[in-house]
Structure 1
Amino acid sequence: MPRSCAFYATDTDLLPLLLDIEAQAPVDYICLPDIWSPDLMRYASAGDIPQLLETPTGTLSRQMFIVDRGHAPEPAGQLHASGRMRYRLGPPQVGRGLCFDEYGLHPGGALLPSRLYTVGADADVLRRFNQFDRRLRRVFYRVRGWPVGPQAHHLLMQGMRLTAFLTAPPEADLRPE
């Protein structure tokens, strides 16, 4: 059974937690930036990821996988109606690691929640997730049951919208207690 946690965070909130994962063992952050190409983007550190936790469209910005250094999953290809190959990289192709569904800060002034979850039941993957989750619980605020990073909490207190969806009605937004 996959373990998961959803949270509101800015890049400043999340980076120390990801660096903790890197301190346990060498990992790579991989994603498939272009569905029309099988070429993966690979980052050796979370600090190298451009525009971390920024969502220009308000939809899933990136699905990033945190895997053991050197692990090389193969994107799955399928012939599209246009005649071109279309690729995807998901948990079945990765096999084991952590999956980070990245949303974050929208330029319209809202912060959307992101999610981290396990892929596979490998002991190392579970240990990394548990350490992330413990640190998240220790450092993040709890607002109506949601983990909210320190900078995200500051933005909430200053009136920024923390919401699950940009189109959600304002009464569904996360509000300070």
Structure 2
Amino acid sequence: MQRYFYATPNDLLPALDHIDSELQLAYVLMGLFDDEAQTTYANGSMLPTLAESLSVGSAISSPGYLVTERSMPIRTREVQQNDGSKKYAVDQLLNPNSIVFQHGGFYSTEILLPGRVATVSDTPAAMKIQRVFSTILAKSFTRVKAYWVGQEALALLQQGTRLTVGADSSSEFDLKLN
């Protein structure tokens, strides 16, 4: 289950505040890390990557956060590296009561990459979080084809900003109003 959206930080902050007022959540940076320590945020408006320009030109490579109920412990898993070292993964594999939140954002002033909320799990906890995110995004954003678009992102689209899944993608694949 997933929902894709285009949003600026100004579009997302009120939605995240609304979500965080309904649920007590933890946002944990996903990825492979050198140790088991986790970078956790108590609400979505605290995510440091939210207001930064993305350093990657593809939506799939943008920062992701594992979102769980705050009381839920996050489990990491060891991943053996080719050089014999170990890294620790924070992802949904051992955390079924979670969703993934990727906020997307600006790659440049001319390119806005999409975000998504998704889960591979059908546990009641994961479905509840996914439902709250999806419902609030749908109420706050405008549907344009397969995407939900925040008001500022929609204005940028109307002004000619590229809303695209990849900076190197042909403009024929950009989101268009018609």
TM-score (norm 1): 0.87
Q: Structure 1 residue 113: deviation in Å?
A: 1.1
Contact between 1:163 and 1:173, CA under 8 Å: does it hold in 2? yes
Identify the residue that residue 55 of structure 1 maps to in structure 2. Answer: 54
Task: Please give the alpha-carbon distance, in whole angstroms, between the structure 2 residues aligned to 1:18 and 1:129.
Answer: 13
Deviation at 1:127, TM superposition (A): 2.9
Alpha-carbon distance in structure 1 between the residues aligned to 2:36 and 2:49: 22
1:42 lines up with 2:40 in the alignment:
yes
What amino acid sits opposite 1:133 in the alignment? S
- Give per-residue Cα distances to partners, 1:91-134, cap 9 Å, x unaligned: 11222122113432102621111110135323343233223222
Offset at residue 34 of structure 1 (A): 5.5
- Please, which runs of 5 or more residues in structure 1 have no aligned partner? none
* 1:4 maps to 2:2: yes
The one-letter amino acid paired with 1:96 is N
Could you tell me whether the CA contact under 8 Å between 2:32 and 2:90 is conserved in 1? no
- Cα RMSD, aligned residues only: 2.0
Q: Which residue of 1 aligns with 2:157?
A: 156
Contact 2:3 2:118 in 1 (8 A): yes
After the TM superposition, which of the residue ranges 96-105 and 150-159 deviates more from structure 2? 96-105
1-side partners of 2:75 and 2:137: how far apart? Answer: 31
Aligned length: 175
CA distance in 2, matches of 1:49, 1:20: 15
Flag the 1:124–1:74 CA change in 2: closer, same or farther, 3 A. closer
| Moved >3 Å (runs of 4+) | none
The question of 1:104 aligning with 2:105 is answered: yes
